[in-house]
Amino acid sequence: MIKNKIAILLAARSDSKRLPGKHFLKLNRKYSVIDLCISRLKKVNLANQIFLCTTKRKNDDKFKAVCKKHDIKLFRGSTNNVLKRLIDCAKESSIKIIVRITADCPIIDPNVIDKCIELHIKKKNDYTTNTLKLTFPDGLDVEVINLNALIISQKLSKSLHNKEHVTSFIRKSKLFKKSNYKNLSNYSNRRWTLDYMRDYLFLKKVVKFFSKNTFFSWKDLIKMEKINKSLINIEER
Domains in the chain with CATH codes:
3-231 (3.90.550.10)
Orientation angle between helical segments 33-41 and 63-70, nearest 10 degrees: 40
Q: Are 199 and 237 in contact (CB under 8 A)?
A: no
Distance separating alpha carbons of residues 76 and 63, to the nearest angstrom = 10
**Average pLDDT in the 177-185 region?**
98
Q: What would the pLDDT profile of 13-46 be if each residue is shown by its tens digit?
A: 998 889 999 999 999 999 999 999 999 999 999 9
Is residue 11 helix, strand or coil?
A: strand
Q: What would the pLDDT profile of 38-48 be if each residue is shown by its tens digit?
A: 999 999 999 98
> Hey, how many other C-beta atoms are within 10 angstroms of the C-beta on 19?
17
Q: Are 56 and 47 in contact (CB under 8 A)?
A: no
